[in-house]
Amino acid sequence: MARRTDTRRRMLESAAELFHTQGYHATGLNQVVTTSGAPKGSLYFHFPGGKEQLAAEALRMSGSQLCEVLREVVAEAPDAVSAVRAVVDLLIGALTGSGFQRGCPLAAVTLDAAADSEQIRQACAEGYDSWRELLAGFFTEQGLAAERAGALATVVLASIEGGLLLAKASHDPAPLHAVADHLYATVEKELS
């Protein structure tokens, strides 16, 4: 049983990485099997719903993993501006450290396949919602009313996502730095 679980986990991790860097349509099932080192016949054993099920589960895993990292980063920050700065710095590091291959773990698939698959759309939405809720909760702890905290979290998340996309497209973190500078001012103003 432990071996079966290990094969399934390896397939999810490989799929998550491939979907992150290539998107949904550019990632083939044979590529996932080869990259994971899983036995060829194991894909449909572990994921009877095929590529769509594999993608949804891999996206949920990626979304959850990033949420935990963000939770740690935000918890260590002394204030809201520092928290946003730490999140942006983390994402810039991941993006530039990967040669601009690794932006948001959900973005490529969201843009590529969410309109075609309710299961994939829902997995992407759950990931984004968890990140937004994390930020909203932190802003509430910092003294912002819940409604304003939710709106601010949406603006922060959408701005960072847009900055990541522009930085990835230009192979330059400058757009993300520019977005971040405006976010710092916005967050500081909201919480003063």
> Letter for the amino acid at 60?
R
Rounded distance, CA 148 to CA 182, Å?
17
b/e per residue, 64-85, with b = 16+ CB within 10 A?
eebbeebeebbeebeebbebbb
Share of the chain above pLDDT 70, in %: 97
DSSP string, 12-31: HHHHHHHHHHH-STT--HHH
pLDDT of residue 2: 42
* Domain that residue 117 falls in: 52-191
- Residue 35 belongs to a domain: no
Q: Count of domains in the chain?
A: 1
pLDDT band at 64 (very low <50, low <70, confident <90, very high): very high
- Residue 9 belongs to a domain: no
- Residue 44 belongs to a domain: no
- What does the pLDDT look like over 90-112, one tens digit per residue? 999 999 999 999 999 999 999 99
DSSP string, 46-77: H-TTHHHHHHHHHHHHHHHHHHHHHHHHHHH-
Distance of CA 147 to the CA centre of its chain: 24
- Residue 88 belongs to a domain: yes
Task: Count CB atoms within 10 A of the CB of residue 179.
Answer: 21
- Residue 33 belongs to a domain: no
Residue the block writes with tokens 């996309």? 165
- Residue 133 belongs to a domain: yes
pLDDT of residue 3: 54
- Tell me, what DSSP letter sits at residue 105? T
pLDDT of residue 40: 81
Task: Count CB atoms within 10 A of the CB of residue 8.
Answer: 19
- Residue 79 belongs to a domain: yes
- Residue 5 belongs to a domain: no
- Per the prediction, the chain carries an average pLDDT of 94
In terms of Cα–Cα distance, which of 64, 63, 15, 23 is closest to 42? 15
- What does the pLDDT look like over 17-39, one tens digit per residue? 999 999 999 999 999 999 999 98
Tell me, what CATH number does 157's domain have? Answer: 1.10.357.10
